[in-house]
Structure 1
Amino acid sequence: MSFHLKILFSILFFFLLISYAVAAQSPVIAQVGEVEISDFELSLQMQRSMPMQVGFHGKVSSDRMAEIRQKNLDELIERAYRVNWARDHEIAVETARIEEAMKPFMRGYSSVDEMKSAVGDDVYASLRAWVYRGLLAQQAEQAYLQGRIDVSDRQVEAYYEENKERFFRPRQFQASHILIKVDPAANEQEREQLHARAQELAARARAGEDFYDLAYFNSDDKRRFVGGDLGTFHEGQTVKAFEDAVIKMQPGEISDPVRTRFGYHIIMLTAVEEARQMRFDEMEDKIRTDLEQKQRDALLETWANELREKYPLKKESVEAAR
């Protein structure tokens, strides 16, 4: 989350606490097993995700708000299932972890007592409970998965052999460029002037001027701040005219101006690595990680179904929250 979004969340959170400080008791909107979900918890959950949905001046339609509300309620319900499981298995969260997780909400307060004085004991307790349940659900997941995920070396090797075509890497390039942007609405005379400027820059680069400096002081692309460096890219990753030019070049070569929908590019090709089959030792770690993730997802889906069968959900409360 960016700095500005963190500020926005802090502002929204502050007003949320003030509103609930007036109405200390928040209605229960759903219950899973022995775990109740309050409207206050749902509001906290929504305010946490809202900065990711809108900017400072963004607006959310009523339909979109209803979707966000339901999505966050569903998340709280899934979390409540795990909290029930954690309680049944006598799992607890260390106080130090809770205190660490509470720090973002303590900004502006010198102590817990000062915060309680500002928002009220009930609001503070509800906030801490919301934080605690989130941590408890995480710990329950870790406990459930412990020792269940097991991917053998043989499985990894078999997956590589059966999916070799997926590990064929196309030709890769390293290049830098200078972009002379052309407005789509520009007339022919303006285009000719910009093309002449691009030709001049290409000639200066070929004459030995430092490409980094030429890009930094002349390019209309944000990559100018790194000398026009485009990093590594592969075939099929750039616009066709740009790629066609790069394919014909040799490392160290500087192109004539290349026209794309963005404008004129002066390209300096740095390196080429031909297409090749990736070796098993290069892909082993990624394959293992992917297979472990698949196991993890399957286990969590099975667990979620088991939890839904074991702990009853009061659907009347859910409907009332919509």
Structure 2
Amino acid sequence: MHLRTRLCTHLVSAASLVALALPGVAPAQEKAPAPQAEKAAEAPAPTTVVARVNGVDITRADLERAKKVLLSQNRMAMQPMNAEMTKRVEEAALQQLIAKELLYQAGRKLEIKDLDKQVQERVAQSKARFPSPAEYEKTLKEMDMTDKDVETFSREDLVIGNLVEKEIASKVTVSEADAKKFYDENIDRFKQPETVRASHILVGVDAKATPEEKNKAREKAEAILKKLKEGADFAETAKKESSCPSSAQGGDLGVFGKGQMVPPFEKAAFALKPGEMSGVVETQFGYHIIKLTEKHDPQTTKFEEVKDRIMQYLKGQQVQKGIGEYVENLKKKGKIEIVAK
């Protein structure tokens, strides 16, 4: 189970922008196709004001940048966008920008020690996450950003983070009883299925192999099996004879559960006891000899092992809720103008 505490992740931040170029996140250059009905000539100017928050302008450029971030965060950057989807994304991005501006304005009223120094450190950290200065500059260009923008967003992140910690997170409490209640009500999340650890030797066969070539491969696998039964070391034999990349580890495939291997292989592996070796098992990849090294019965992770993570997760949920309520209160007290669509 993966429980994550997410503080303020619905806000458009500098961290969100620079993360676009990091592994596992959609690249910044993957832009959502614009609806066919739109034409470049009809696009509003970047400086066009789309909303105003207590007198502070949010421009079309701000909104377009926020849309890119939102699309990338939700892995939607390369999906076709119809008019309705485009409208929904734009509305969501605008609401994020309004929430961010409200929190930033409120956060500026709180003192932060050495803010300028922290901003510079944050900017340096952002740059350090890129493999080279050239990659950093490339991403800035693709996001229509400048170094000054990164500095501005870093300052906003710090100010908002300080506000969230002092006004919301510090007031949230989660007890062990709360965590135990969550654990009991969501026990299936903590159940671990049966798993095994196995090694194998593969005599690979090409998908287009002739019957004669397949017979030759099977005969080779049978000969290897005979040597193993006579006492040959499995790991050393795998290193010499296996055509699988796992040969470098003596054929070790690590721990896996049901559904992770092709059916014939899985059936043979789970039928073995630790220390036992299979016969020759045929799959679409060729002929395998499997040796089971470990077997783990289904189990449920104990509460004590996950208690801290559950408490962290529950606190994160409460903080998220608190941020939403805080923003709604700021909206009631402030003046929000939607200037242009």
Both proteins in one fold, TM over 0.5: yes
1:67-86 residue pairs with structure 2 within 5 A?
70=90, 75-86=96-107
What TM-score comes out, normalization by structure 2 length? 0.64
Structure with greater proportional helix content? 1
CA distances 1:272-315 after superposition (whole Å, capped 9, x unpaired): 12233443323333433333333333333333443444444432
Q: Which deviates further from its counterpart, 61-70 or 94-103?
A: 61-70
Distance in structure 2 (CA, Å) of the matches to 1:164 and 1:123: 48
User: Hey, what does 1:87 align to over in structure 2?
Assistant: 108
User: Hey, what does 1:33 align to over in structure 2?
Assistant: 54
Give how far 1:73 is off: 5.1
Matched, 1:264 2:287: yes
Partner of 1:314, secondary structure, is strand
Match among 170, 175, 183 for residue 193 of structure 2:
170
**Aligned in 2, Cα 1:45/1:276: closer, same or farther, shift over 3 Å?**
closer
Distance in structure 1 (CA, Å) of the matches to 2:161 and 2:169: 12
CA distances 1:158-179 after superposition (whole Å, capped 9, x unpaired): 3444454554433221222334
CA-based RMSD:
4.3
Where does structure 1 lack aligned partners over 5 or more consecutive residues?
Answer: 13-24, 110-121
**Aligned in 2, Cα 1:236/1:69: closer, same or farther, shift over 3 Å?**
closer
Distance in structure 2 (CA, Å) of the matches to 1:130 and 1:136: 10
Distance in structure 2 (CA, Å) of the matches to 1:123 and 1:152: 45
Matching residue's letter, 1:297: Q
1:1-322 residue pairs with structure 2 within 5 A?
26-42=47-63, 70=90, 75-89=96-110, 94-103=115-124, 104=126, 124-164=147-187, 166-317=189-340, 319=341
What percentage of aligned pairs have identical amino acids?
25
Matching residue's letter, 2:311: R
Matching residue's letter, 1:246: A
CA distances 1:29-54 after superposition (whole Å, capped 9, x unpaired): 43333443344545665777898899
Give how far 1:94 is off: 1.5
User: Hey, what does 1:22 align to over in structure 2?
Assistant: none
What TM-score comes out, normalization by structure 1 length? 0.67
Partner of 1:177, secondary structure, is strand
Distance in structure 2 (CA, Å) of the matches to 1:137 and 1:131: 10
User: Hey, what does 1:16 align to over in structure 2?
Assistant: none
Distance in structure 2 (CA, Å) of the matches to 1:228 and 1:169: 25
Give how far 1:102 is off: 2.2
Distance in structure 1 (CA, Å) of the matches to 2:188 and 2:303: 12
Partner of 1:246, secondary structure, is helix
Distance in structure 2 (CA, Å) of the matches to 1:217 and 1:31: 70
Distance in structure 1 (CA, Å) of the matches to 2:225 and 2:87: 53
User: Hey, what does 1:113 align to over in structure 2?
Assistant: none
Give how far 1:245 is off: 1.1
Could you tell me whether the CA contact under 8 Å between 1:180 and 1:263 is conserved in 2?
yes
Where does structure 2 lack aligned partners over 5 or more consecutive residues?
Answer: 1-18, 32-45, 135-144
**Aligned in 2, Cα 1:51/1:163: closer, same or farther, shift over 3 Å?**
closer
**Aligned in 2, Cα 1:140/1:180: closer, same or farther, shift over 3 Å?**
farther
User: Hey, what does 2:142 align to over in structure 1?
Assistant: none
